[in-house]
Structure 1
Amino acid sequence: MSAATAPVPTPAPARARPSSAGGHLPGVARLALVRAGVELRQFWRERDAVVFVFAYPIVMLAIFSTVFGAEDQGTDVAQIGYAQYFLPGMVATGVMLTSFQQLAVSIAVERDDGTLRRLRATPLPASGYVGGKVLLTLATAVAQTALLLAVAALAFDVPMPSDAADWVTFAWVFVLGTATGTVCGVAFSSLPRSGRSASAVVTPVVLVLQFISGVFFAFFALPSWMQTVASVFPLKWIAQGMRSVFLPEEMAALETSGSWQLPATAGVLVAWLIVGLVVGVRTFRWRRRDDG
């Protein structure tokens, strides 16, 4: 057979490319992690927001402890310092600030300034975007709480728990409270009509909850109707769960039920977590209402 008539060899079939080079998108977890890195860099560039988030609980604890430091809670159950009694509330309000308030405002602002509309044109799914916000919230809340506890222990001589069980309680209340505040913040972010009105809509809600949930005042000293209203919302239960960690066991007698109610704390937070997830999924929008 001559070279001119020799058959042309059939090329071997090309092997499928690995997923990393075949055009397939990374998983949601990886997208959320990458987005979280972007969110963290953007957060640290906003120095005024960083100062407020980290300093607010510390400043409030310092003010109340200085003003009322010479007083105690005036109960026959236990005599403890003002800083020790209100540290749990400051931990709880810090969680609320970094999760609910920060997300409700920032998502509304990003929707208003077109950030979400531009992100929608990318392959980033809504779950990846929200996942990035969740990781940002968790990282911020951990750093803020660690700083608050260090200042409370070193500057105000607040005793830290010595029992491992107390730290286990602290961990699950902290994680569950942060998760609940995060999903509720995502859900609530659809309520403001614009980014400019977001702070005006969100901040009063947070302030009212702080005043009725035992953050700024002893919860047992509040009117009964106010205690009832506060019991509907997560902040009261986060604060009560934290009180079970940082206060002596005999202080449980001052709670409305005479106990720390940790199962009820878990139940209420899980219920709000589910509600926040359902509402957030149904109401999350990439665009403003008037953008169509």
Structure 2
Amino acid sequence: MNEQDLKRAFQDVVVASSPPPSMDPGIALDKAHKARSKRRASITGAAVAVLVVGVGLGSAFALNPQSTKDYLMGAGQSSSSNPGSPGMPDTQWGEEWPVGQSDRTATNGPQADRGTQLLNLAKASVPSGYDAPDLKYKDPSMYGGMLRAQAQISTNKGETPEVWEYTAYVPVRKDDKVGQLTVTVSMPNSRNQADPCVLANRVSGSADFSCKIYEVAGNQVGVASPVNPAQGTATTASYRAANGWTVTVTQEEEYSYSGYPKLDRQPFFAPELAALAADPKFLLGS
């Protein structure tokens, strides 16, 4: 025991007794010993608690470093259902669909904003000599604008990773004749084939098609079109990026049900369509 311990013991006795008792050095010394033993026990208990927590966190970090880091930083567990898709906003789900949706389509919020972003990029991609006006259907059975975007969830509640798909529909006009440019962008999806020709054909839906692979900046892009005109005349270019995102661009001389006469020819030649599909701007910041 040192002088400080003895002093604290005397202070404990003085504070605990009112009026203060007569000073007895033996009693004071005994109380000082007890006080020191109590402090040592408290310190030892705290040290053991810290050691146990440290061992637990060390084991947790080995098993799940990111979650442990979030815990230590006070971030808690993320509600993101897209751990493999950097930059994607978290989706909050209701009973069946994402909050604010009555079906697979998002009409507002961050996902709908990405659809609008894609639409603006697609509009800006129309080649020289053409424009992309916000036309209305002439066909009375149709409603709404021909220039539109869509964002929809492809996976169901509880499925991971979550997959969103974005589509832009653009009327392409020249001399009052109108065709269509459609750009579809998908987050990594296990159902999307790595072979760009297989992917292009799946989108085009043609049973009998021809496809050619184009090299664009070291990337392979498949450009497919039906062999039989009865199955349509659309040309589809598909590209799968290294991170798994896919881009498909389809061009047609006619915008179906628009009521406008069709274009004399498709706006892009096949190599140009391939280059457009592989343009990294369509990866939407992935």
TM-score of Structure 1 vs Structure 2, range by shorter chain: under 0.3
- TM-score, normalized by length of structure 1? 0.26
Larger Rg, first or second structure (1 or 2): 2
The structure richer in strand per residue is: 2
The structure richer in helix per residue is: 1
Which protein, 1 or 2, shows the higher relative CO under an 8 Å CA cutoff with sep ≥ 6? 1
- TM-score, normalized by length of structure 2? 0.26
